[in-house]
Amino acid sequence: MTTRWIRHPREIRNRYRFPGFSRDSSGRSLVPFSVHVLGSSGGYPANGQPCSGYLVRGTAGAILLDCGPGVATALLRDGPHCNLDAIAISHLHPDHTLDLIPLAYSLLTEWLVDGRTVPLPLFVPLGGIDFLRRFSDLFGHRQWRLPTDGGSPGKQAIATSLAQGQDWVFSVFDIREYMPGDDFGRGDLTVRTHPVDHGVPTAAMRIDDADKSVVYSADTRFLPSLASFASRTDLFFLDAHLSGLFAPGGAHMTPMEAGRLGAMAEASELVLCHLATPEDGDSARRAAAVEFKGPIHLACQTSEYAL
């Protein structure tokens, strides 16, 4: 497998525009199977680069894997519509979830202004519904009120739910919990998951499209069973957070461990992500290359992968 990839220096990457999401008359995507890195920073938006967010597009639709700080800005760079079919959250740490609220505001605008009435599926690990309810309550969303007469069908639906004391975030999202290890999806879009070792319920994710596949490790310690889950994947996005002096520790992998896991999985190509800082990129690639002999990319440097 040869992956077409584009390397973006900072001044180019900051001007990158994501194309509109085209479909045929049956509703299937016309976009080739691809991954756009919206952000890959670990813990905080190092050097202005957003935290974890990976936009996977294929024939079955578009799904966002994780939604950390800065991801909504990157996703909505061209306008107010997110053009997503689903969101999947690997775990409930803030660097993977905080931009769900800005993204909810974008969806709310679609409901109030454009007449949208279909909530966006949002898949979260067990405990995610309570997490999002408490998170949204910090901003008093269930106390909002709108006139219930007039306006678009979407506005009327939001106004009615608010009048009933419901949180509008739970109207614009269709929030569904899963257990790591479950498969889930929407229509033909299927995500397979595998539980990983990160101290809280966390899922690695695999998406297959025809004869191609992408695997995202999420945050994890070295876990041999993940190699079987990612077996012969075309593109393996791997946590390599323990990449240098700025990594505070925690349940993550070193770049060399990421390379070893990629080799065990017999992956075609690796993408190192969640580095402690982008400055670790070159040394992280060298360390991973000790174990993995195929192409190794850096998510903080290469933003687009077309399979």
Give the per-residue pLDDT at 234.
Answer: 97
Is residue 21 within 8 Å of 44, Cβ to Cβ? Answer: no
Q: Is the pLDDT of residue 25 over 90?
A: no
At 14 the pLDDT is: 30
Residues above pLDDT 70, as percent of the chain? 89
For residue range 70-105, list pLDDT tens digits in order: 999 999 998 889 999 999 999 999 999 999 999 999
Q: What does the pLDDT read at residue 170?
A: 98
Short-list 5, 35, 55, CA closest to 296: 5
pLDDT, tens digit (0-9, with 9 covering 90-100), for 145-184: 999 888 889 999 999 999 999 999 999 999 999 999 999 9
The confidence band for 294, taking pLDDT boundaries of 50, 70 and 90, is: very high
Percent pLDDT > 90 in the chain is 79
pLDDT at site 101: 98
Average pLDDT on 192-205 reads 97
Q: What is the rounded distance in angstroms from the CA atom of residue 96 to the CA atom of residue 109?
A: 23
What is the structure's pLDDT at 149? 82
Between CA 249 and CA 245 the distance in angstroms is 10
Q: Per-residue pLDDT tens for 41-61?
A: 999 998 899 999 999 999 889
CA atoms lying within 13 Å on the CB side of residue 225: 9
pLDDT tier for residue 262 given thresholds of 50, 70 and 90:
very high
The number of beta carbons lying within 10 Å of the beta carbon of residue 25 is: 5
Element of type H or E holding 271: strand 269-273
State mean pLDDT over 247-257. Answer: 86
DSSP string, 159-227: HHHHHTT--THHHHEEEEEE-BTBEEEETTEEEEEEE--SSS--EEEEEEETTEEEEE--S----THHH
Name the nearest CA neighbour of 121 among 71, 163, 85. 85
What's the whole-model pTM score? 0.90
What's the confidence (pLDDT) of residue 179? 97
Question: Please, is 280 exposed, middle or buried when counting C-beta atoms within 10 Å of its C-beta (0-12, 13-18, 19+)?
Answer: buried
- Give the chain's mean pLDDT: 89
Structure tokens at 252: 């993550």
Q: What is the pLDDT of residue 18?
A: 30
**Distance, CA of 132 to CA of 122 (rounded, Å):** 11
Tokens of 20: 């509109």
What pLDDT is recorded for position 8? 38
Burial class of 131 by CB neighbour count within 10 A (0 to 12, 13 to 18, 19+)? middle
Decide if 245 contacts 266 (C-beta within 8 A). Answer: no
